[in-house]
Structure 1
Amino acid sequence: MSLMLPPESSSARSVVGVAGDLFSALRGESATLPRAESVVLVLIDGLGAIGLRAHAGHARALTTGMAKKDVAHSVFPSTTAAALTSILTGVWPGEHGLVGYRVLDAERDLLVNQLSGWESDGLDPETWQPAPTVFEAARREGRPTFAVGVAAYAGSGFSRATLRGAEFVAARTPAERVEAAYELAERHPGSLVYCYLPEVDKAGHKHGIASHQWVSALEDIDAALAVRVPPGVGVLVTSDHGMVDVPVNRQVVLDSSHLEGVRHLGGEPRMLHVYLEPDADADAVLARWRADLEGLADVGSRAEGIASGLFGPRVTDAAASRIGDLLVVARGSGAVYDGTAADQRSRGMVGQHGGLTPEERQVPLLRFGAFAR
């Protein structure tokens, strides 16, 4: 089966438009948000709208008053490198070029990790991710900009690719980060403040979204966001993606016969970028993978993925060079592994994302403070 985005309502919002909404609210020009003196964007990594609603009793501050329409759709792949960059640049992965977790640097014939491998894999954040960030756009308007996050992420390659233009402020706990973000917004009228909360994502990957550890992380974040928002400050709370739990019996492990003609496997188990050997018969490999993974995953070519708009309405040459010859999207709660020793280590990850299910692509879009209805 070839690849295409699942049908969505014509009125469905995308996370790509969040930055534009915030700018419009600061100017008093938004059709959807009231004017605000300052704005705070809270990003809860890994929190899907479906998972949040299913655990509403553990997240009363977030879900009280949450309407059916308070959702947005993430990008493809539904993974942090692609989605967070789209949120913070306002463009689709096909433009900013972060089209997956691990992708091919064709010039060096090297798989690079676009989340944590910037330094080790030799990526230049300003050229590998060329799109201006929302913080750079705010600076051009003379607005103060801040990014509140975990100290370990200050100055990382991914932060330099996505947070350019923002003054980084480190805080330890979710409560301390939210408090710092609100204080900055109140103290600097006209400012744009970003607050990053990764705890739910980390708990989900390690323990799954059905675990008490995931629920505990959600409760901590909900408590952090239950505090009073300063007057005049508008707060949008969203996420980059949700996730699904992958049980052991839904792990598909490819053997050497499946990998004939394959040079590199990138992406992640829920959405593989498959890069072929230069002399491989691409059509034959595509047909074989579709047959081998029938009912388990949808398999398409790079051309099909681009033509169907998976990576957005425009795909640059640089982004296209990073997209696999084949794209393999796991169905349901499955995941696909290549059977190598390195890949086997990742099979212990319970909560995963990257695919096209509603659990992965529907994220909350909640309004607080000056934005509250």
Structure 2
Amino acid sequence: MENWNSRFPGAAWPDYQGGGLLNLMQTLSLELGGPDLGHAPLDSEVLAGIGRHRHVCLLLVDGLGEAQLRRLGPNSRLAALRRRSLSSVFPPTTAAAVTTVLTGQPPSVHGLIGWHQLHGEEIIAPLPLYVRHPADSASAAQQLADSLFCAPPLFEHFARPAFLMLPADIAHSPCTRHHAGSCLRLPYRDSADAFAQLSARLSSPAPAFHYLYLRQLDAQMHATGPDSPQAQQALAELDDELGRLLEEARQCDAAVVAIADHGFTAAPAAQWVDVDADQELYGLLARPLSGETRMAYCHVKPGCVERFLALAEARLGHACWPARSAELLAAGVYGPGPAHPDLARRCGDVVLIAKPGWNLRDTLPGERVFLEAGMHAGVHPDEMAVPLMAWRP
């Protein structure tokens, strides 16, 4: 993406050639006797031979970007275990990145490209599976799941049993059921319960793979900001739990790998733009915005793309870079193919990529005005770069 530097100054784009989450999953699958996913392996030896350990644990700490680890926990165990930086996927957000971890496929293939996205004629939220638009939709969650999730789960194909530890409210959701496949799903109440369950499972003499998804830090950074004292405390508590886990892992021949799905940037309240407040601009859209507040997909009425681009540049150019969706697709930012059949349609005609500090929103009838202190899904380096941490007994 070097040739885009002048157009998107300071932007960070995903690495699918050896330095990203996708490559990590390719290497992990091969190390654990899983399938060759057809992607480039990780361009380092961090995971080499990890399958020789009785237990392998993959901790996904939602939201723990490189910047957050550096600023909030420079003297933490996690920082001491950091082996290198990885790039997330595009967009760097949970729906896209966690699905890449669970399937070993990039967003271009699995097709989940934002918190909200077009599916058929509806705009839906893929993870909680609700319909944002239209308001009178009769689609049920399982009906949406059956038509939405298409990439096969990865962990069930490892050459050892795999267990997924997830928050109780999502452990049995349609999204989780699909992406866990035949693996056992283990709900937990809070992080203490999660680490206790994982530690207990390590006492088994049978080789196994354990996936633990932790969202507490992400929730705190959304609520209070990525550099808040509360976020620092949340990271310290997680780090203490990790220390206790490593004591158990040392006795049980368990390797521990920790990653994140994305990083964060601050979202000042004064830098939220209500796109729907501009009636002329918003009136050129065929449907509401989808995607994310840091990266919005715009489905424009026929014949209006040039006008929309010109207005967006003139009126929103201080807050975002308007780009033709086709340009992003051609540049491969969603990953290598074969592309999901609905990928281009879901991306719309124009993508509004938020500049540092800015967020874009529209508010439909019945919705609260969305405002959070920390956000992600754009192309700031703090959103794209995530740490890879590894420990072996």
TM-score, structure 1 normalization: 0.88
Task: Indicate whether 1:128 and 2:148 are aligned.
Answer: yes
1:165 Cα shift? 2.5
Matches within 5 A, 1:51-90: 51-57=68-74, 60-67=76-83, 70-90=84-104
Deviation track 1:237-282 (CA, whole Å, cap 9, x = no partner) reads 00111111111222122221221210221112111111123x3422
Deviation track 1:75-113 (CA, whole Å, cap 9, x = no partner) reads 11111111100111111101001011101123xx21101
Q: Quick one: which of 181, 195, 220 aligns to 1:178?
A: 195
Partner of 1:100: 114
Q: Is the 8 A contact 2:13 2:384 kept in 1?
A: no
Structure 1 pair 62/165, CA: closer, same or farther in 2 (3 Å)? Answer: same
Q: d(CA) in 1 for partners of 2:391 and 2:197?
A: 16
Partner of 2:262: 241
Q: d(CA) in 1 for partners of 2:234 and 2:189?
A: 14
Deviation track 1:122-145 (CA, whole Å, cap 9, x = no partner) reads 65435412111122322xx4x211
Structure 1 pair 342/79, CA: closer, same or farther in 2 (3 Å)? Answer: farther
Q: Could you tell me which amino acid in structure 1 is paired with residue 323 of structure 2?
A: G
Q: d(CA) in 2 for partners of 1:171 and 1:316?
A: 33
Q: d(CA) in 1 for partners of 2:31 and 2:20?
A: 17
1:184 Cα shift? 2.3
Q: Is the 8 A contact 1:185 1:192 kept in 2?
A: no
Task: Provide the aligned length of Structure 1 versus Structure 2.
Answer: 360
Partner of 2:297: 273
Q: Quick one: which of 112, 116, 123 aligns to 2:128?
A: 116
1:15 Cα shift? 0.8
Partner of 2:332: 309
Q: Quick one: which of 289, 311, 317 aligns to 1:288?
A: 311
Q: Is the 8 A contact 2:149 2:175 kept in 1?
A: no
Moved more, 243-252 or 7-16: 7-16
Q: Could you tell me which amino acid in structure 1 is paired with residue 346 of structure 2?
A: R
SS of match in other structure, 1:290: helix
Task: Indicate whether 1:144 and 2:161 are aligned.
Answer: yes
Any stretches of 5+ residues in structure 1 without a counterpart?
none
SS of match in other structure, 1:317: coil
Moved more, 259-268 or 177-186: 177-186
Q: Quick one: which of 352, 367, 373 aligns to 2:390?
A: 367
Partner of 2:241: 224
Structure 1 pair 356/164, CA: closer, same or farther in 2 (3 Å)? Answer: same
Structure 1 pair 43/123, CA: closer, same or farther in 2 (3 Å)? Answer: farther
Structure 1 pair 203/9, CA: closer, same or farther in 2 (3 Å)? Answer: closer
Q: d(CA) in 2 for partners of 1:239 and 1:199?
A: 12
1:361 Cα shift? 0.8
Partner of 2:66: 49
Partner of 1:6: 12
Partner of 1:23: 29
Q: d(CA) in 2 for partners of 1:25 and 1:38?
A: 12
Q: Is the 8 A contact 2:73 2:235 kept in 1?
A: no
Q: Could you tell me which amino acid in structure 1 is paired with residue 26 of structure 2?
A: G
Q: d(CA) in 2 for partners of 1:185 and 1:26?
A: 17
Moved more, 116-125 or 248-257: 116-125
Q: d(CA) in 1 for partners of 2:69 and 2:361?
A: 28
1:116 Cα shift? 1.1
Q: d(CA) in 2 for partners of 1:7 and 1:85?
A: 18
Moved more, 161-170 or 176-185: 176-185
Q: Sequence identity, in percent?
A: 27
Structure 1 pair 329/7, CA: closer, same or farther in 2 (3 Å)? Answer: closer
1:341 Cα shift? 5.8
SS of match in other structure, 1:202: helix
Q: Quick one: which of 193, 199, 202 aligns to 2:219?
A: 202
Moved more, 110-119 or 22-31: 22-31
SS of match in other structure, 1:292: helix
Structure 1 pair 98/220, CA: closer, same or farther in 2 (3 Å)? Answer: same
1:54 Cα shift? 0.8
SS of match in other structure, 1:81: helix
Q: d(CA) in 1 for partners of 2:367 and 2:313?
A: 21
Q: d(CA) in 2 for partners of 1:172 and 1:196?
A: 12
Structure 1 pair 77/161, CA: closer, same or farther in 2 (3 Å)? Answer: farther
Q: d(CA) in 2 for partners of 1:212 and 1:335?
A: 23
Q: d(CA) in 2 for partners of 1:354 and 1:7?
A: 11
Q: d(CA) in 2 for partners of 1:306 and 1:243?
A: 24
Q: Could you tell me which amino acid in structure 2 is paired with residue 53 of structure 1?
A: R
Moved more, 3-12 or 254-263: 3-12
SS of match in other structure, 2:227: coil
Structure 1 pair 132/212, CA: closer, same or farther in 2 (3 Å)? Answer: same
Cα RMSD over matched residues?
A: 2.6
